[in-house]
Amino acid sequence: MKKRSTAAPGASVCIIYVADVACFVEVVLERGATDVFNVGTSRAVSIKELAAIVMRLAGLNGEPLYAPPRPGDIKHSAADVTKAKALGWEPRITIEEGLKGLWTTW
């Protein structure tokens, strides 16, 4: 069975590990912050790079197949975490580390 992505290989997304989000929530609660914040890594990862990481972790060779983008798909997304960092928070887990932890856990 062939797996397909619904995003173009050149599209990019901002992915964050859930433990980093939990740490951010702790910081907000400790500081009593009441603003609206973006939480992310501020590093956009291309769908092509994401597919390569997952395929490497899964021990797969070859090239991924991509489906055409759907109407309304966002081509590039990266969070501006300036306000979150001003609270003293920083994301700590890279996409590679997060996916490796997820892959070995499940």
Interval 64-73: pLDDT, tens? 888 888 888 8
3-state secondary structure of 48: helix
Helix (H) or strand (E) holding 93: none
pTM of the model: 0.80
Domains and CATH numbers, the chain: 4-93 (3.90.25)
* pLDDT tens digits, one per residue of 35-48: 999 999 878 899 88
Position 56 confidence tier, pLDDT thresholds 50, 70, 90: very high
Give Rg (Cα) of the chain: 16
